[in-house]
Structures are given as C-alpha cells and as structure tokens.
Structure 1
C-alpha cells in the first residue's frame, strides 16, 4: 500500500510509533467521537496497536496508517481503509483521526480523498462507508467533501451512528 498526497505520506505503524498512538488514544477530544468515546491507558493503547498489526497481516492493503506531514516528517494522525461489519454486511470504511494540533487544516479531507482514490484505482472497490456519530460535524463535512452522503442511521455498540456511503457507478456509455 503506497499512498501519498501533496502534503501527506501514509505508512504502516511501527513499534516506535507507540507514543504517538498513545497521544491520540489518551486525548479526550480526539477520541470523543471514536467508538465509546473513552480514552485508553497505555495497556489499551498497546492492545489497539496489536489490533492494527493484526489487520496488516490479514490484508496488507488495508488497515490504519500513520499520516506523516511531508514538510517536516511529523506524524499528524492516522487514516486507513478498515473492514467493518454493518448489519451483517462486510463494508470497507474510510477512517481518519487527526491530532488536535492539526485540526481544521484540511488533512482529514486530503487523507480521506486519497484513500477513496486508492480503494477505487488500486483495489477495484466500488463502495465505501464512514461511520460517524451524529455530533461529529467535522467528520460529516469530510465525508461529504469526498462525495459521500448519509445513507442511514444505525445503533452500533449502543451508540447512534450515521452511515455515510459512496458507491462508484459504472460508466454506461
């Protein structure tokens, strides 16, 4: 999986990235709309990193990748294509988390667009979703920016969640 944009390089997590991952997972504002909205301690962050590593083994083309800002080689978040099962159907989610210091600079939209394009061009996928909690206006804007629309709302792990989706149509000429 080789993805980059004008400002970002995507790369797999490595053990030395643990402190950055922990900084994301322990920040209440960053995780507010992720899963149950709870921060994680170091043990929980270690489990999350191992989950990321398992996803790489299961499918090297998928999984969360570090987002490295090219201009100064600083990690600013992570994003990736992640398998999700929604109402018994396997879906491919475009997911993105940006560290608080880098919010509102267009990085999430840039990463999401790159993942969408990679999924279509390199993986031949036609459908993508993003799972977004109703209060997460910023993520809704990112999803809409890359062509997604609200498909439905569901309950996921006891939380209301919007399913945004994008389905590439075949060219019929």
Structure 2
C-alpha cells in the first residue's frame, strides 16, 4: 500500500532497531497501552506479536511506514483486530516517531487504512481506540471520518472508541427502494 508520501510494508528483522526507538520513547508510548516504554526484550516480544498477526491474517497487522522521498522509517500503522466489550472489531492504529509529528503523516496513513479496510477488505465498521488525553490522535480520527462513539475502560485505562460505519451501495439502494415503496 502507498500514499502520496508513504509506503506501508511488513516489518522485517532488520527493522528491530527502529521499533525499539519507538517503544523506548516515553513521548511516543505515552498514550499507547499502559504508557510504559519497553526494553529491547519487550520490543522483541512486540515484534513477535506483529509477526504472529501477519501469519493469522496477512491482510492485517502493523506495517512500517516509510517516507517515500528518502526511504526513512517514520512510524507504523495498520489494521489490528481488537475485542471490545465481547465484539470483534478492526482498529485503525498509528504511531509516528516524535521527529515526524505535526506533518500530517498519521492522518495520511489513517485515511489510507480506512479506504483499504472499507474498499478492499469490505469492512463496514472500523474503530480507533484513543486515550482521552491524546488530542492529536483524536483529531486524526475525526479528520479520517471517525466519530466519538463512547468511552470505555480497557486494561485499566479510560479509552475513547472512535468509529466509522459505512454502508454498501446495495444497502443504500435497498433503503431508497423501501422509502419509494412507502410513498
């Protein structure tokens, strides 16, 4: 997958140092999970989790974000399965390295994932899980067309559930046919 400025590609072993840099930066992980940095051992466990997600469903999982102009990794983003209140959901997730914040990369990646999830994978619903204090990510979700649906408690943290619900052309046509019938 590509956008105007980004390439998405699967993680490889040689990306480990970059992943460590993301996971060891307190500002980057402040609103991710429990907000704690990870050691190299913890980063390796996270990389193995990413690899497992690829094996379970090759179309999903976090992808390394590479800036097209110079092949520099700037973060990662992807569609990730989540279980929220007993319901399986597909989350648009994105982390950008601090040096690249404020340049629109998260919004660009999230929009591409939204389109991929709805148009290529046929999902009618996508979510983003964002801690309330993460105003930047909340703005990205809103710019991407997701709306605040509810706030929940997840793994001991307050989390905002942003959601996008789409309808297919067929459903829209069926709704129009029903309305015509009623008239």
TM-score range normalised by the length of the shorter chain: over 0.9
Q: Distance in 2 between matches of 1:42 and 1:146?
A: 33
Q: How well do the aligned residues superpose, as a CA RMSD in angstroms?
A: 0.6
Q: Distance in 1 between matches of 2:142 and 2:168?
A: 20
Structure 2: gaps of 5 or more residues: 174-183
Counterpart residue number, 2:85:
87
* Partner of residue 73 from structure 1, selected from 62, 71, 74: 71
1:61 paired with 2:43, answer: no
Give the Å deviation of 1:120. Answer: 1.1
Counterpart residue number, 1:19:
17
Counterpart residue number, 2:176:
none
Question: Deviations for 1:35-57, whole angstroms, at most 9, x for unmatched residues?
Answer: 00000000000000000000000
Once superposed, which parts of structure 1, at least 4 consecutive aligned residues long, lie more than 3 Å away?
none
Q: How does 1:86-105 map to 2 (within 5 A)?
A: 86-105=84-103
Q: Distance in 2 between matches of 1:107 and 1:46?
A: 25
Give the Å deviation of 1:170. Answer: 3.0
Q: Distance in 2 between matches of 1:121 and 1:91?
A: 17
Question: Whose radius of gyration is greater, 1 or 2?
Answer: 2
Greater helix share, 1 or 2? 2
Counterpart residue number, 1:4:
2
Count of residues in correspondence between the two structures: 171
Q: How does 1:1-173 map to 2 (within 5 A)?
A: 3-171=1-169, 172-173=172-173
Give the Å deviation of 1:130. Answer: 0.2
Give the Å deviation of 1:28. Answer: 0.1
TM-score by length of 1: 0.98
Task: For residue 34 of structure 2, give the secondary structure of its aligned residue in structure 1.
Answer: coil
Q: Distance in 1 between matches of 2:16 and 2:81?
A: 22
Structure 1: gaps of 5 or more residues: none
Q: Distance in 2 between matches of 1:12 and 1:79?
A: 10
TM-score by length of 2: 0.92
